[in-house]
Chains A and B, each alone.
Chain A
Amino acid sequence: MYQFQYFRPKSLDEARKLFENNGDAKFLAGGQTLIPTLKQRLAQPTALIDLGAIGGMSGIKVAGGMVTIGAATKHNEVATSVEIRKAIPALAELANHIGDPAVRHMGTLGGSIANNDPAADYPAAVLALGATIKTTSRTINADDYFTGMFETALEEGEIVTEVNFPVPEKAAYMKFPNPASRYAMVGVFVAKTKAGVRVAVTGAASCVYRESAMEAALGKSFTPDAVANIKISPSNLNGDLHGSAEYRAHLVTIMAKRAVAAANG
């Protein structure tokens, strides 16, 4: 790691000021992606602003058909939340398979979606469930939030404070992990909501995205068969040592099919 200054503000206001006063600062949430990145010397922030001591950033509320999760809520808390297990079991299951137990004790929802790793799990849930992201300055729809590889709609210094997930009728997430890293090589989150079916794919491309052909087919018939024969074009998908774009395209279909089956129980 390169040298940096470290701050541990007690409030969001203080965090924001620190950010403004420090040229190339980064916010530190759970650190489970940022610290490995710093260890590899792939980033050189002048300051880290640790959000861990700010009150009111963590917690889970379920009310009025909405699951509200504070940005600093740890993956393990989501995974083991009885309310979430009841309201959106797929979300708890997803959280229960992020990284490993130690990572889940530190990593946070806000940190994950602010980083927007193309192989992260949470973006798939946020996008498929049509969640809204509340920040220090505004509310952003999931469809407008994930803008590219490691890129989001967040402005400089803007901090995610909570995410609101509308409770779907049915939902499930199927992940095909990269055999080495165990990040999602392909992860498909399907959600049947009052507004229609949404299918979000993570891991396969440079950024989480919605698979509209599948959404249309599942809108007509929410069955595994409805997607089983949908061929995904590999042209915009990732290909590497662990799998070609064609393989990933194929896995999108398989994972979607399995996710629908799981959602239907």
Chain B
Amino acid sequence: MPGVAMTVNGKAVSGDVETRTLLVHFLRENLRLTGTHVGCDTSQCGACVVHVNGKAVKACTMLAVQAEGAQVTTIEGLAKDGKLHPVQAAFKEHHGLQCGFCTPGMIMTAVDMIRRIPDLDETTIRQQLEGNLCRCTGYQNIVKAIKAAADETKGALA
């Protein structure tokens, strides 16, 4: 089995994986970072979204070996020094989650969209959520949470 090494949530990590091991399974099974979820097998639900080199990607549609040397951030790495990331806080404040299963992917997608797009409006937020499915909320409060976080941080999100 080939070895793979990368930086996950600021920590250097490595492990032996099969070449066919997906990044999401490396995170969940080798590193036991189970916050990143698998909700489908056709790359559509977005429960597995993480950031690779600062960009949102679907960890179920990337081999672990492809992430060799990459900087990976998962939902577990978002809060800093015990302080929730503004998007995390907004999801709680605006009831942007119910069962919580899609939430990590939603939050990682939201952080990425806020970084990329200044002045997010509701229509754009809904379009940008095309790759994230939620079955509980009807999306209304997810959209509200993202909008609030975007307005609050005004493009200052690192």
Q: Contact partner of B109 among A35, A50, A101, A106, CB < 8 A?
A: A101
Check A6 against B19 for contact (C-beta < 8 Å): yes
Bound Cα distance A85, B60 (Å): 31
How distant is A143 from chain B, measured CB to nearest CB, in Å? 31
Bound Cα distance A249, B116 (Å): 37
Hey, which chain B residues are within 8 Å of A99, CB to CB? 130-131
A150 at interface, CB cutoff 8 A? no
A:1-18 near B, CB below 8 Å: 1-6, 8
Bound Cα distance A182, B133 (Å): 13
B:105-142 near A, CB below 8 Å: 109, 112-113, 116, 128, 130-132
B46 at interface, CB cutoff 8 A? yes
Q: Contact partner of B43 among A5, A35, A50, CB < 8 A?
A: A35
A52 at interface, CB cutoff 8 A? yes
Q: Is the interface of A mostly helix, strand, loop or mixed?
A: mixed
Check A1 against B62 for contact (C-beta < 8 Å): no
Check A35 against B63 for contact (C-beta < 8 Å): yes
How distant is B20 from chain A, measured CB to nearest CB, in Å? 4
Check A40 against B41 for contact (C-beta < 8 Å): yes
Q: Contact partner of A32 among B43, B112, B113, B130, CB < 8 A?
A: B43
B27 at interface, CB cutoff 8 A? no
Check B66 against A50 for contact (C-beta < 8 Å): yes
Check B65 against A102 for contact (C-beta < 8 Å): no
Check B66 against A52 for contact (C-beta < 8 Å): yes
A100 at interface, CB cutoff 8 A? yes
Check B20 against A102 for contact (C-beta < 8 Å): no
Bound Cα distance A27, B79 (Å): 38
Check B61 against A105 for contact (C-beta < 8 Å): no
18 further A-B pairs in the complex, CB-CB below 8 A; given A105-B52, A105-B56: A3-B18, A6-B63, A6-B65, A32-B61, A35-B22, A36-B61, A39-B22, A39-B42, A48-B19, A76-B55, A101-B56, A101-B112, A101-B128, A102-B46, A102-B49, A102-B58, A106-B57, A106-B62
How distant is B71 from chain A, measured CB to nearest CB, in Å? 14
How distant is A117 from chain B, measured CB to nearest CB, in Å? 13
12 A–B contact pairs at CB < 8 A?
A4-B19, A8-B65, A31-B63, A32-B61, A40-B41, A99-B131, A101-B56, A101-B128, A102-B57, A102-B61, A103-B58, A103-B131
How distant is B107 from chain A, measured CB to nearest CB, in Å? 13
Hey, which chain B residues are within 8 Å of A28, CB to CB? 66
Check A3 against B19 for contact (C-beta < 8 Å): yes
Bound Cα distance A50, B2 (Å): 15
Hey, which chain B residues are within 8 Å of A1, CB to CB? 20
Closest to A99 in B: B131
Check A100 against B46 for contact (C-beta < 8 Å): yes
Hey, which chain B residues are within 8 Å of A48, CB to CB? 19, 63
Q: Contact partner of B131 among A8, A50, A52, A102, CB < 8 A?
A: A102
Bound Cα distance A100, B43 (Å): 10
Binary contact track A147-185/B, C-beta < 8 Å → 1, others 0: 000000000000000000000000000000000011000
Hey, which chain B residues are within 8 Å of A4, CB to CB? 19-20
Binary contact track B14-39/A, C-beta < 8 Å → 1, others 0: 00001110100000000000000000
How distant is B135 from chain A, measured CB to nearest CB, in Å? 15
Closest to A40 in B: B41
Check B41 against A39 for contact (C-beta < 8 Å): yes
Check A105 against B20 for contact (C-beta < 8 Å): no
Check A3 against B20 for contact (C-beta < 8 Å): yes
Hey, which chain B residues are within 8 Å of A50, CB to CB? 65-66
